[in-house]
């Protein structure tokens, strides 16, 4: 099941007897777990019918014993097992799954990895309840996530502003959600649209000199603008470290290489092929295909890898991070 499927069922009061929420992305695991508690128990019911357990401090036998209890003056009781990746003896859950208590909602939060899917217990959980793997979002999907998140807050965000936030925070969704919440709070009364100016004012990112603008300058081959940004980065190294810049450029040119194989080189065709949530993101890939040949893109990807190695001291003893970026940008543009 997808996150949206699970959230819809929970909203409609349709609960599974057991949930195994696992994966590298904490955000969706936390969201589903919190949403189950919110929708299944009111605040008064939680005092007697919500049990929080931690995998490091308990075992499966204790968890099952708690799951077998009946709720007190409530339709449900909820048992949430956090840090479930520290649990052992998962097979001990098997007997309970044969006839789980209908009034109990048992939630396992397994973070920073997944339970071995070859284990029989994984198939049993999937058959009886809900099995969900929370995967890290690709960088290209972050602006879509930001736009959707702000829409739920009844706030619009301009495409460029969403790109700036994605570039600044990266794919740590919990941190990203926190920064977006702060942004919503700081909006002037009556304003429900976030522009790059708000990002610059409240988050501290320059709307003129950032990785998003550097990428745009490279796509359009604006040599003057690209070099101005490189100089700004070199003059402000603490606020503009090289690694996030290299990561963003590698992500863009890697996707650009894939875009050449899209059956249809239209906005809809490229967006579908790359798995982008909105067609406006495809525009920069279409522009990139016009500006660079496939062979040049392959060479650029190699050069970004070399720049990354140099930034870590491999094969380089003299160049500063600013000089590494300057050489890379020169190679891309010429």
End-to-end CA distance of the chain: 47
190 Rama class: left (phi>0) / alpha (psi -120 to 50) / beta: left
Shared-domain flag, residues 144 and 90: no
Shared-domain flag, residues 197 and 301: no
Shared-domain flag, residues 324 and 216: yes
pLDDT tens digits, 128-170: 999 999 998 887 788 888 998 999 899 999 888 888 888 788 8
The number of domains in the chain is 3
Given 159, 181, 202, which residue is the final one in a domain? 202
Shared-domain flag, residues 57 and 98: yes
pLDDT tens digits, 290-321: 999 999 999 999 999 999 998 888 876 678 88
Shared-domain flag, residues 69 and 157: no
Shared-domain flag, residues 10 and 126: yes
Shared-domain flag, residues 256 and 319: yes
Q: What angle do CA 199, 205, 208 make, to 5 degrees?
A: 95
Shared-domain flag, residues 143 and 130: no
Q: What is the mean pLDDT of the chain?
A: 90
Q: What is the CATH number of the domain that holds 181?
A: 1.10.8.60
Shared-domain flag, residues 117 and 154: no
- Which residues are CB-neighbours of 144 under 8 A, at least 6 positions away? 276, 277, 278, 281
Yes or no: say if 324 and 316 are a contact pair by the CB < 8 Å rule: yes
Shared-domain flag, residues 182 and 297: no
Shared-domain flag, residues 277 and 304: yes
Query: Distance between CA atoms of 148 and 179, rounded to whole angstroms?
Result: 15
Given 119, 134, 149, which residue is the final one in a domain? 134
Q: What is the CATH number of the domain that holds 263?
A: 1.20.272.10
Shared-domain flag, residues 12 and 103: yes
Query: Distance between CA atoms of 146 and 258, rounded to whole angstroms?
Result: 24
Answering whether pTM is above 0.75, one says no
pLDDT tens digits, 70-118: 999 999 999 999 999 999 999 999 999 999 999 999 999 999 999 998 8
- Per the structure, the complete domain to which residue 177 belongs is given by 139-202
Token pair listed for 309: 């190695």
Given 202, 226, 255, which residue is the final one in a domain? 202
């Amino acid at each position: 099941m997808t996150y949206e499927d699970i959230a819809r069922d929970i909203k409609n009061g349709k609960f599974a007897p057991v949930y195994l929420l696992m994966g590298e992305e904490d955000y969706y695991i936390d969201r589903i777990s919190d949403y189950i508690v919110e929708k299944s128990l009111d605040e008064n019911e939680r005092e007697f019918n919500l049990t929080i357990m931690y995998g490091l401090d308990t075992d499966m036998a204790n968890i099952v014993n708690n799951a077998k209890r009946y709720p007190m003056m409530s339709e449900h009781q909820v048992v949430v097992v956090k840090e479930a990746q520290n649990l052992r003896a998962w097979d001990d859950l098997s007997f309970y799954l044969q006839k789980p208590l209908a009034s109990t909602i048992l939630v396992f939060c397994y973070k920073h990895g997944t339970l071995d899917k070859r284990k029989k217990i994984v198939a049993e959980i999937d058959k009886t309840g809900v099995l969900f793997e929370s995967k890290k979002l690709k960088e290209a999907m972050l602006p879509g996530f930001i736009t959707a998140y702000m829409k739920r807050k009844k706030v619009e965000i301009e495409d460029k502003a969403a790109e700036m936030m994605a570039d600044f925070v990266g794919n740590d969704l919990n941190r990203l959600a926190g920064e977006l919440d702060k942004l919503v709070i700081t909006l002037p009364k009556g304003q429900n649209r976030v522009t790059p100016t708000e990002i610059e004012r409240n988050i501290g990112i320059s709307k003129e000199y950032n990785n998003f603008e550097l990428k745009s300058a490279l796509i359009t081959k604006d040599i003057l603008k690209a070099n101005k940004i490189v100089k700004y980065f070199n003059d402000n190294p603490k606020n503009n470290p090289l690694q996030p810049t290299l990561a963003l450029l590698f992500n863009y040119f890697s996707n650009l290489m894939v875009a050449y194989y899209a059956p249809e080189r239209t906005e809809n065709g490229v967006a579908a092929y790359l798995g982008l949530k909105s067609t406006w993101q495809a525009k920069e890939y279409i522009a990139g295909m016009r500006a660079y040949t496939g062979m040049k893109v392959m060479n650029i990807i190699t050069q970004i890898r070399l720049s990354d190695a140099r930034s870590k001291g491999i094969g380089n003893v003299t160049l500063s991070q600013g000089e590494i970026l300057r050489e890379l940008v020169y190679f891309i543009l010429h």
